[in-house]
Structure 1
Amino acid sequence: MNSNTSAVGNKSVLLGLIKLMRPKQWVKNGFVFAPLMFTGLFLDLASVTQTVIAFVLFSLASSATYVVNDLKDIEQDKKHPIKSIKRPLASGQVTPAQAKQWLVGLYATLLLGVYFQPLVMAVIAGYLLLNVAYSFYLKHQPVLDIFTIAIGFVLRVYAGAVAISVPLSSWMFVTTLCLALYLAAIKRRQELLQTTQQGRAVLEKYTVSLVDRYAEMSATGALLFYSLFVMNARPEMVLTIPFVLFGLFRYWYVTEALGEGESPTDALFADKQLLLTVVGWIGVSLWALWPAGAV
């Protein structure tokens, strides 16, 4: 009886530790694949392999930052109406000691990445340091907190470029930055509306109208820079512009009318039209960039 109880308890802790890594959020690391797609190297096995390795390493790194953040915010998360139930540390499913041991294991695994992709790991090291600064200081600073989140997405794209030894284009940099700022601004907007400033002190320094303007400016910039990039550098991708425009419209609808958006990943998987838009954009992009004569 005791052994059964112990086994159930161990399974619960293991599931909690996996949940602590937030594998569902790994979809954000898909930005690592952007350089592979836009350079047309997605049919090159070596480039694909290196990008997949970079994706795995970045996923482990992002999971490590989630553990650090949850350890730091455990008391605030207990006051949050959703996080107090869903976060393993805040709900008591995982103890801080267990989370710290898990974090050491994640860092140890990441060290192995230096052997496979030392340059990518240099980018990831910068990402980890940035997120430590975010967890302990930057997340409490208005505007800086939004830009820190956005820079994390830019570093993902940069890591993808480093993995296949290609330069990060200025178009991709500024488009990614604007898109990420849009997502971060919407995230703050939904937190303001749904949590009434509980558990995150920086929310007291924002207003809904302010972050709405941030989101509008960022969305406009993302669409403008992406369209200019396509028309100047990749005219064969012009058919992808309507997908981007519809995706921005639909995401705003999902956040405004359906109340999603505090987690961009949850919003993506919760709405079939939004998910199909992303899949459609990827499909049309691959079709447009497919090398001539390739099978």
Structure 2
Amino acid sequence: MHDNVITHTVPVRLFGLLKLMRLKQWVKNGFVLAPLIFSGEFLNANAVIHALIALLLFCLGSSATYIINDLHDIEHDRRHPKKSKSRPLAAGIVSRPMALALLAILYAALLCGWFVAPQVVLVIAAYTALNIAYTFVLKHQPVIDIFTVAICFVLRVYAGAVALAVPVSAWMFVTTLCLALYLAAVKRRQELSHSGAEGRKVLQKYSVSLVDRYAEMSATGALVFYSMFVMSAKPQLILTVPLVLFGLFRYWYVVEELDGGESPTEALLADWPLLLTVVSWIAVCMWALWPGRG
């Protein structure tokens, strides 16, 4: 009965297809633009265009992986009290053929992207392969599941660097990894707190205290490595260190006191102090790295 989408109007189906692409999650792809900022090329029109193309292609690639995941998990999602209503496939708003057609369109667009930014598409191919492995196998493996999610963020940064043909500091890679591990560990913590081990199989192998320690270790690593990156490679960014520290504190407050964090994107968009911190960090980075400044 869930696949019966005939009763839905065309606008509802279109909305369902857009929701299937999880446009809100495109916020995560902002990591693609990090090399543009840190390279100081954000006033170079050609560099900006290349970075935005990489961002668009990564958004298409990430949406495609979400569709694959939802197709794979459709029966499980139908039994979930929240996902059965929020996921278009599980709710019957979008049929399998419609989802497969959208998936084909997204991959066709990425294939066209090969002729514009082949190196970026190669990174997206690696990201896609890793996500398919995650959907079918890796998300059921404790610790490996968290690291897989984190590596996807590292690939976003790498795609941005490849688009601009600029090197990326090893400090930036390890900082991104630690930050992503922090976000992934907090997500697992909140899933455990809200749904227990019923939300996903791998949660049966975690405890709140364990993922708390993972999150604390990762947050500490992110702060330390970012500070070392700033002091060794970009000393002009020293003013951003307090912002990073505040952001980590605020995010943990959102998790503990406001019960957010199960979706990092929603936590960011719903908490104005956290959103203001991120915007301020970007602004200070651009001010400090402004070409010709000083």
State the SS of the aligned residue for 1:115.
coil
1:174 corresponds in structure 2 to: 174
Confirm or deny that 1:202 pairs with 2:199: no
3-state SS of 2:40 partner: coil
Q: Which residue of 2 aligns with 1:243?
A: 243
Write the deviation string for residues 34-81 of structure 1: whole angstroms up to 9, x where unpaired. 111001011111110000000000000000000000011111112223
Q: Deviations over 1:133-153 (max 9, x none)?
A: 000000000000000000000
Shift of 1:195: 1.2
CA contact (8 A) 1:79 1:199 kept: no
- Distance in 2, matches of 1:97 and 1:141, equals 30
Say whether residues 1:267 and 2:256 are aligned partners.
Answer: no
Aligned-pair identity (%): 64
Query: How many residues are aligned here?
Result: 290
| RMSD of aligned residue pairs (Cα, Å) | 1.5
How far residue 118 of structure 1 moved from its aligned partner, in angstroms, is 0.3
Match of 2:127 in 1: 127
- C-alpha distance in structure 1 between counterparts of 2:75 and 2:124, whole Å: 28
CA contact (8 A) 1:77 1:84 kept: yes
Q: Quote how far apart the aligned CAs of 1:293 are.
A: 5.6
Kept in 1, the 8 Å contact 2:8–2:93? The answer is no
Equivalent residue, structure 2, for 1:160: 160
- CA shift at 1:199, angstroms? 3.6
SS of equivalent to 1:154 = helix
Residue range with higher mean Cα deviation, 86-95 or 241-250: 86-95
CA contact (8 A) 2:191 2:199 kept: no
Distance 2:285 2:231 in 1: 14
Secondary structure at the residue paired with 2:291? Answer: coil
Matched, 1:282 2:275: no
Q: Hey, what's the Cα distance between the residues in 1 that align with 2:77 and 2:138?
A: 18
- Where do 5+ consecutive residues of structure 2 fail to align? none
Alignment of structure 1 residues 3-42 onto 2, 5 Å: 9-42=9-42
Between the aligned partners of 1:268 and 1:251, the Cα distance in structure 2 is: 8
User: Residues 82-138 of structure 1: CA distance to partner in whole angstroms, max 9, x if unpaired?
Assistant: 211111011111111211111111111110010000001110000000000000000
Q: Which residue of 2 aligns with 1:142?
A: 142
Distance 1:116 1:278 in 2: 31
Equivalent in the alignment of 2:65:
65
Corresponding position of 1:98: 98
Which stretches in structure 1 are left out of the alignment for 5+ residues? none
Q: Is the 8 A contact 2:35 2:160 kept in 1?
A: yes
TM-score (norm 1): 0.96
- Partners in 1 of 2:212 and 2:166 — Cα distance? 35
Contact 2:27 2:265 (C-alpha < 8 Å) held by counterparts: yes
In structure 2, the residue corresponding to 1:142 is in which secondary structure? coil
CA contact (8 A) 2:182 2:214 kept: yes
Corresponding position of 2:257: 257
One-letter code aligned to 1:142: P
Deviation at 1:260, TM superposition (A): 0.8
8 Å Cα contact 1:178/1:219 also seen in 2: yes
Q: Output one character per residue of 1:234-256: Cα deviation in whole Å (capped at 9) or x when no partner.
A: 11111100110000000001011
